[in-house]
Structure 1
């Protein structure tokens, strides 16, 4: 037993996760009913990450703001530009792909009437602004990261001129929560085993077969964004081979996000990755939680692809100006309403309204989205979350290149 434990500890976390993934698949295929308790491990892992993430963000951002010195650069402006540019370009890629592969949907009679999409861009922005002024305690309890960020920034500014002892206490609390995160992440292989077991045992692959084409278009577009578009953006900024960085972010961040299907749960994972990459803590402690809210390339892809598949089904002609408008709307709405229950799928009716498509039909499309969500949402979250770390690293490496500092 000691030799097994020693061998296990020698392996990297990614290798351990892959083993957990393989075991989960095998057990789900062979004993889907006999081992029905295994999904509990996945729920426990995701629940632990979700529980610690809001507190981690609060203390990390507060500490970073409180101890920030005048004149110290954080690269936040470049990171925000990369976030917004990446989201817009992802929507544009999705629109082009939808024009090339004109897919149609078999719209079901069932609609997701139990959920309500936002009524327009004004409502999306109103929800965003109301999230900013949310009660800090409620923001932590409900994982409202816009509200948590706003509270942390204000608290950090308020104690910026406090005594060094106060700042040290905040920094120690931040380090303590970070250590808890490291402990939780050590259980990732067991959590991934439970998550993949649950996905295969409960859903299987047969129910997704009839929606194979739309899944292929969604996943194919997201893969193009991850392995072609994002590397081009990274190369333009750092002027060296981008793929080692791209692959590491996908391997160490995207893999977690694919199985947890939660940007909130992946915030601690991205924080840990940024630390391993040697990035400035003052920067990534703010950019990572911010990215989980506004860096939504995967959401923009989902909104654009499903909306244009609906127009193809109904025979609605889409001209170039309207297609460009769709890119803008999908990017803005994805950034502004990322915290709405149901994620990007509930933004499809908003985009469909650009083409005069009724809400009843649009909600049928949302219903299809929930059916394929086991694949679509996993890939979307993996793209969104891994890009948070990727663009944070890109911004800092670009600044180092500019100053002639090795990286």
Structure 2
């Protein structure tokens, strides 16, 4: 078993909190990962799988269990399902941004807008990562996973993962347990073979972020370069010289609310429909049809609202911090809580709770944390 001397999780997570766990194993191959998981499950001890550590907020007390570091890597080309499509299988521990760079270099479209997102490929489907209108769900074919309950290795189609806005059946949401306890071993994507030339960019949100008109044409490489620049301006690209990047990315999710609740918010608050409005299909059995067709029922879509706007308009600006606290809001991005210098988890949690309280008081909405919280409460 690949057991190593435990490393403080503050050194392995981008928010830089957490003590050394009781035990730690490094899994550098698919077989080592499977063996490690089956061992800890058989023992019935607490366990935590650690990829890039970019979506974890770990408490100050040592984790009394085994942390398994997923260090697997590799990209494999599979038979194409159709002309113009490249199907790739990627090991769970592979760096997400390295994977994106790989696709861009080969003229494969579908994930370039997600350049610079830290973490591993195996973590990407768990919360259906996305940026600028692109999401993993748009290119994901299936995942290979090992199920804790049965110990079986299974291939699960994307349609069975419950993928939604920053969620899936595998995600550990704050205050609840995942619908399915399992660990991803590999991920399969279908990407469009568009080549190195210029092309129009689909997606209004991405064009707006990059300052492109609808008819402008650019290469995938240009998109990746400019997305990385945009993320760096917001402190969302890891940089040891920039404390604004010592974060878990967006600490709070953009809130998804009903259309009626969204109308109670100020008109200036940025809002986006989560799904296009659709009329519900009406099926009338032929033997029951009497010639009357009732009016179609129109259901309003839910609305995603900007949590960053809510935070700033509740009186908490970029760079906010309590006196003598080593935790603070990023100076570049109001959604990111940052470790300004050896802050402990309680300092960051104190700031998070204060922000939640302010937004709830001003707008009647409780912001939900996006990272997985381990040994810490809000």
The structure where strand makes up a greater share of residues is: 2
Higher relative contact order (CA 8 A, sep 6+): 1
TM-score w.r.t. length of structure 1: 0.23
TM-score w.r.t. length of structure 2: 0.25
The structure where helix makes up a greater share of residues is: 1
